[in-house]
Amino acid sequence: MAEMVGIAFAFSYIGDAFHGSQIQPEVRTVQKDLQIAFHKAKFAGSNPLLRFSSRTDAGVTARMNVA
């Protein structure tokens, strides 16, 4: 069984195209886009677990967030 490894990374985003940061069914969110990108890059396994340091609502831009 593979060992779980934790990492932290800082990122920013312009929120105009997102319906918030946390995953919601059938709408585009920051977390969903990051998970898709990690999966395509084969970076964090097939289903990476992301925990954000803070959340944003729909349309809100974040200068810096940490996951």
- pTM for the complete prediction? 0.83
Residues 6+ apart with CB under 8 A from 13: 30, 61, 62, 65
Confidence at residue 41, expressed as pLDDT on a 0 to 100 scale? 84
pLDDT at 10 over 80: yes
Confidence at residue 2, expressed as pLDDT on a 0 to 100 scale? 65
Active site residue ranges: 57
User: Which domains does the chain show, CATH number per domain?
Assistant: 10-66 (3.30.70.580)
Per-residue confidence band for 6, with pLDDT thresholds at 50, 70 and 90? confident
Confidence at residue 45, expressed as pLDDT on a 0 to 100 scale? 66
Confidence at residue 33, expressed as pLDDT on a 0 to 100 scale? 93
Closest CA to 56 of 46, 65, 67, 48: 65
Confidence at residue 64, expressed as pLDDT on a 0 to 100 scale? 93
